[in-house]
Structure 1
């Protein structure tokens, strides 16, 4: 039963009930995010200390850090490429429940490898690959599985449940990034990687225990009316395109015309998303490059009655804390204030402002690094200031990007757009991984070390920002909220299901 009926003398009131599966889904997500962010909080520092520069030789440190950052960003690249594949497999072949359960088991073996092979780089790398496949493979399915649990009788409760769902993500992140670096410093790598593994095993068990309570949407089989099939067909049939036609119009003879129009909308959104990888290339450095920089800072914090030294991996906790604070601040105060003074905060303007703040956060980091390069130990408060700016940029770029993807894509393409948004994270991390690989191997980018590394990203981001300012006013947009699909589009879409 999803609802209960209350009867009064003259009125019948139906009170919605939460799906019985929700506690299992939220508990699973909190434990899984703890495991992922916990191991990642110490990954870069561990790789340097254990494998790439165990002797702590100053002469090897720059190359060792580049190798560690390369490995970390390749790991994230794989983790954010897999959601696209995991989503397709779930929708076409397995359904969400099976892929979440089976890949979670694989995920657990990945954590086991990290704990067992903390002195064996090959075994440790296998563990990273398994975790990336696991975390990425279930990422596109878990949040969608939340929505599957609701029907018409209780859909009014969905927004509250998603609120708790995302709270569990940030709660798991904050707790793990405080606890795991402390465990690593006091009890060593096996415990520091073992505890996230235990939490992932717990996450899998929690999910399994709810198996009889889930609403399980069966797979729909291969649906050829999708982004990939339509795009590939159009590319191989460009010669059939008539004058004045879009290159995708040649697909209308073979595929549902409404779906083809949806794919066009996807490409319009992608013209904005091409600017997102530089943001993620820079944002994800706060979990690797910035952590390594924090090792060289004065991390002593004194706030009157509070006096302690924060660990390098714990500094990154600032990001989710500031992010949770800034989301309501921007939503209820900053955006309305700009709208009130006549500066409309459109998604594209927010996105551009976010890129500018991302560059500014790296200016702060570069200035810190200049002092570090001189042998100084600046206060960690300067890096926390950079986290403040970067977290504000995240609100403007990441949350706006998700909103833009949702409102600018038709119903049939919303999942596709979410997957493509995650691919921009993978693309950004791949870019940073390749740069770090070049530094480690003495290639072209080897001259960009120390502060020059961060100034290089400031310059690249500035180029992207200028290009965005020039291109964004010329982008063709259609909001499917303000301009819903007409009846013919919806009928064509329904007939194709």
Structure 2
């Protein structure tokens, strides 16, 4: 369904103020209210990423877990955090307002962080040197860790949808700009995490780092809460998933019903979409308890899923920036004028590129829209996502060439500069900006108005699936390549591995995925 149709629905008076009266557009919502979401996202993402970046070191040095187990713990934490956005979105759409959902889950995240801060503060809550944590110490660690993951899931599902709710939905360009600057705020928080917070953790210790994180998250919660008088609120309308399952079940029961028997039911303009690939669901209308609006809601949400699935492979590439690209950086020359770049700070490259790309992108949009008609606008969400997926494939091709060059230099006892990695960081950074920003805008704008949190959460869920897919591909690649001479990614020495071939494989898989995306995007 076109975004304009959703816009007309949104302007029908569904929004309320904090007293549960009809929202006044002159007093509630607007750019000021939406900007608070961007400020809060910068602080929350700084806290999330500063801990995610450095948890491996904390688990190794303070909790004394083995290196491999520490890496798995961090991957599970990251993957779970993004996966739980679906749960957070479901709660936000079904039972609570997005404002209340954010308050609840941000408080849970803060409590988890406080628990980790207490454990880092008192040595008796940490294992002795060269000893694994006791059951009690491990329970405290995992409780704090997954309380944070649960909180992150709810926050990232509710916050972008809440921010976009504050804006005029008849102005799609305004919605697009909001998600661009929301992404800018996300990257700004990540940049602070990869620089300032890394320095604090390395020079002032975990106690100081956790305390600063707790204060920053508490500040984010206060800033968000202070804006409650100017927000407008979308009241939940019950579980959309229940309605979807009900429609699907009814369509299955009535699958043998001929369409001629349902002329009256499917004649409603709400009941059908142009180029509808889920027309079979119209048979659910034979059930008197099913409305045309519920069928349309189901069709719209199901139509988003192929687009969502087509972006997972790109996020698999993005996962390499925090794994193999960091390992490459460790064995390359990281010295600049006698200053050695910390390994954790290598993520500064893509984050800086993403930050710079947002103002350039916004400027390009303004120039492009004045000269080109909307029909050929390459900045529309689906085209934007497609461009991002194409760049992801290109980035892996560049990464393969760079790694091949690095290995050849290492064989000649030459250490290349870490800045050789900038090319793959550049392409993946721009790819992420185009894809994630486009996904947030697309899923919010195209989703049924009763499912905007859970639909927006698909963007983050794609990131989670990308991390899990990356781990699976590494295992499969080693299993297959091990049968033909040697594991491409075996051992701890990249100079004896074939990371370049793995990157080439990712390039091919991404290109195939890009063709798959084009197929579904054209059918949408």
Q: Using the alignment, how far apart are the partners of 2:36 and 2:447 within structure 1?
A: 31
- Compared CA separation, residues 103 and 439, structure 1 to 2 (3 A): farther
Alignment of 1:316 onto 2:353: no
- Unaligned runs of 5+ residues in structure 1 are 3-13, 55-63, 479-497
Q: Using the alignment, how far apart are the partners of 1:85 and 1:103 within structure 2?
A: 11
- Compared CA separation, residues 143 and 403, structure 1 to 2 (3 A): closer
Please tell me whether the aligned partners of residues 254 and 286 of structure 2 are also in contact (alpha carbons under 8 angstroms).
no
Q: Which residue of 1 aligns with 2:237?
A: 220
Q: Which residue of 2 aligns with 1:350?
A: 387
Q: Which residue of 2 aligns with 1:95?
A: 97
Matches within 5 A, 1:144-159: 144-149=161-166
Alignment of 1:420 onto 2:458: yes
Please tell me whether the aligned partners of residues 360 and 389 of structure 1 are also in contact (alpha carbons under 8 angstroms).
no
Q: Which residue of 1 aligns with 2:146?
A: 129
- Compared CA separation, residues 179 and 88, structure 1 to 2 (3 A): same
Please tell me whether the aligned partners of residues 88 and 454 of structure 2 are also in contact (alpha carbons under 8 angstroms).
no
Aligned partner of 2:523 among 477, 484, 492: 477
Q: With the length of structure 2 as denominator, give the TM-score of the two structures.
A: 0.70
Q: 2:347 aligns to what SS in structure 1?
A: helix
Q: Using the alignment, how far apart are the partners of 1:328 and 1:20 within structure 2?
A: 19
- Compared CA separation, residues 232 and 429, structure 1 to 2 (3 A): farther
Aligned partner of 2:51 among 20, 35, 39: 39
Q: Using the alignment, how far apart are the partners of 2:142 and 2:188 within structure 1?
A: 28
**1:289 positional shift:** 4.0
Q: 1:94 aligns to what SS in structure 2?
A: coil
**1:402 positional shift:** 4.0
Q: 1:125 aligns to what SS in structure 2?
A: helix
Which string of whole-angstrom CA distances, capped at 9 and with x for unpartnered residues, describes residues 394-418 of structure 1?
Answer: 2343334445545665656655542
Q: Which residue of 2 aligns with 1:290?
A: 325
Q: Using the alignment, how far apart are the partners of 1:275 and 1:156 within structure 2?
A: 25
- Compared CA separation, residues 204 and 336, structure 1 to 2 (3 A): closer
- Compared CA separation, residues 386 and 124, structure 1 to 2 (3 A): farther
Matches within 5 A, 1:97-246: 97-117=99-119, 119=126, 122=138, 123-149=140-166, 165-223=182-240, 226-227=243-244, 229-231=246-248, 234=251, 237=253, 240=256, 246=279
Please tell me whether the aligned partners of residues 284 and 429 of structure 1 are also in contact (alpha carbons under 8 angstroms).
yes
Q: Which residue of 2 aligns with 1:280?
A: 315
Q: Using the alignment, how far apart are the partners of 1:99 and 1:347 within structure 2?
A: 30
- Compared CA separation, residues 195 and 433, structure 1 to 2 (3 A): farther
- Compared CA separation, residues 247 and 426, structure 1 to 2 (3 A): farther
Which string of whole-angstrom CA distances, capped at 9 and with x for unpartnered residues, describes residues 238-263 of structure 1?
Answer: 85476998553443334333443443
Farther off after superposition, 273-282 or 223-232: 223-232
Q: 1:219 aligns to what SS in structure 2?
A: coil
Alignment of 1:248 onto 2:243: no
- Compared CA separation, residues 294 and 181, structure 1 to 2 (3 A): farther
Please tell me whether the aligned partners of residues 28 and 166 of structure 2 are also in contact (alpha carbons under 8 angstroms).
no
Q: Which residue of 1 aligns with 2:508?
A: 462
Q: Using the alignment, how far apart are the partners of 1:368 and 1:52 within structure 2?
A: 36
Q: Using the alignment, how far apart are the partners of 1:258 and 1:152 within structure 2?
A: 20
Q: Using the alignment, how far apart are the partners of 1:456 and 1:261 within structure 2?
A: 43
Q: Which residue of 1 aligns with 2:264?
A: none
**1:280 positional shift:** 0.8
Q: Using the alignment, how far apart are the partners of 2:84 and 2:504 within structure 1?
A: 29
Matches within 5 A, 1:74-89: 74-89=76-91
Matches within 5 A, 1:332-481: 345=378, 346-347=383-384, 349-363=386-400, 366-367=403-404, 370=407, 377-405=415-443, 415-434=453-472, 448-449=489-490, 450=494, 451-453=497-499, 455-466=501-512, 468-469=514-515, 472-473=518-519, 476-478=522-524
Which string of whole-angstrom CA distances, capped at 9 and with x for unpartnered residues, describes residues 434-488 of structure 1?
Answer: 56688999x989763344356335314413413542673476534xxxxxxxxxx
Q: Using the alignment, how far apart are the partners of 1:332 and 1:154 within structure 2?
A: 18
Q: Using the alignment, how far apart are the partners of 1:153 and 1:435 within structure 2?
A: 43
Farther off after superposition, 281-290 or 23-32: 23-32
Please tell me whether the aligned partners of residues 348 and 472 of structure 1 are also in contact (alpha carbons under 8 angstroms).
no
**1:424 positional shift:** 1.6
**1:134 positional shift:** 0.7
Q: 2:523 aligns to what SS in structure 1?
A: coil
